[in-house]
Chain A
Amino acid sequence: MRTSDRDAEFVEFVTAQRAALVRMARLLTAGDEAMAEDLVQTTLTRLYVHWGRVRRAGNPVGYARTSLTHAFVDEQRRAHRRHETPTDLVRDRAATADEDGLGQTVLAALAGLAPRQRAVVVLRHWLDLDTAETARILSCSTGTVKSQNAKALAHLRTALAPAISVEELT
């Protein structure tokens, strides 16, 4: 495809979807703004390089979400090998309209989850993907998704109580 066409389509996609990807990355990283931005940049760069294949597949949003999730999981593995504890890092929190601190409370609760559990929560309960699609993105079984989801929800209920009660979810 011509470069001008690729560029025009890519810019259109970024304009429409970047904000959603940044927000997804913010949840995956439990509010680590710098890492979230890095992950989104990596994802979009990958998307541009493979734009021809992405557009032929007809689901650039799905490709971007999958790529972002993989970039996050890979980064967590690298951090683990470097013996870093990402959730202990001092985070550059976004200046948000979070006057009552509710958003930060939720991010803190997310930070207590293992990375793949956090990914399950984001995919299942923020993006509303079903178990099968979540399993496909995470390259695991649906049984693993269900068990990780159950553990994650149990943690979130505990971490958010008693200030916040969460509706029962399965």
Chain B
Amino acid sequence: MNDLNALLDRAAGPVAPIDAHADLTRGHRALSRTRRRRSAVGLLGVAAAGVAGIGIVRYAGPDEGPQQAVERPVPDAGISFLAQPMEAGPYTFDATPEGWEVQGATPSAVTIAPIGIADQNPDSFVGKLVILLDGNPLSGEQVERDGRTFWVHGSSGYTTIATPTLPGEPAGNVLIQFPNDTGWTRDTMLEFLAGVHVGSGAEQGVG
């Protein structure tokens, strides 16, 4: 009889001598890229704060930035929706954007990213959708859709859209930020955001 642990240990085999400095060099390069992107996200956060009065950049604090090169599929025909609800923590959406998936969800924020994106850090927002429950005053261009009013603002390659939560939902505004170069348009995002429901577990972010 063979113990499976011993068999696996045998299969794992020996390892060549370690060169930690090659890994360190790769780490240095990745961290440099991260800090450059963090600066870009910081500028975006400042722009978003000017509209919504919140500090989105708080998610990009020390050691919490994107980890590696962002690879995202080039959109060809925009965003289409699958007729199935999508759950993300306390938030639910009436439809699912095809080719996108929930990457992370907390009571105050949800990150939705293209399936297969290299950057799997849910605290990194580059190239992704971010949904927040926000308590700051609304501002921007007002758009009516399905009986709701949305406030739209675009800056630095990203667009933010916010709308008050519905009666019975936690008080505040649900705000979504999306990159303009990934196939999303204002109309598709309005369609997506019109179907958002904020559950009782949602909490306003601290801006």
Interface segment, A49-57, A83-91, A130-138? A49-57
Chain B 54-71 residues near chain A, CB threshold 8 A? 62-65, 67-68
User: Secondary structure at chain A's binding surface: helix, strand, loop or mixed?
Assistant: helix
When distances are taken between beta carbons in the complex, the residues of chain B under 8 Å from A94 are 13-14
| B26-A41 in contact (CB<8A) | yes
| B2-A166 in contact (CB<8A) | yes
Cα–Cα distance between A161 and B5 once the two chains are bound (Å): 17
- Tell me whether A61 is interfacial, beta carbon within 8 Å: no
22 residue pairs from A and B, CB less than 8 Å apart: A14-B24, A18-B18, A24-B12, A27-B11, A31-B11, A45-B27, A46-B67, A48-B23, A48-B28, A50-B64, A52-B63, A74-B120, A77-B116, A97-B14, A102-B11, A104-B11, A107-B11, A121-B8, A125-B8, A166-B4, A167-B2, A169-B4
- 9 smallest CB-CB distances across A and B, nearest first, come from A48-B27, A23-B12, A52-B63, A106-B11, A14-B20, A19-B15, A96-B13, A126-B8, A53-B63
- Interface residues in chain B, defined as those with a beta carbon under 8 Å from any beta carbon in chain A: 1-5, 7-15, 18, 20-21, 23-24, 26-28, 30-31, 34, 62-65, 67-68, 115-116, 120
- Interface residues in chain A, defined as those with a beta carbon under 8 Å from any beta carbon in chain B: 7, 10-11, 14-15, 18-19, 22-24, 26-27, 31, 41-42, 44-54, 70, 74, 77-78, 81, 94, 96-98, 102-104, 106-107, 110, 121-122, 125-126, 128, 153, 156, 160, 164-167, 169
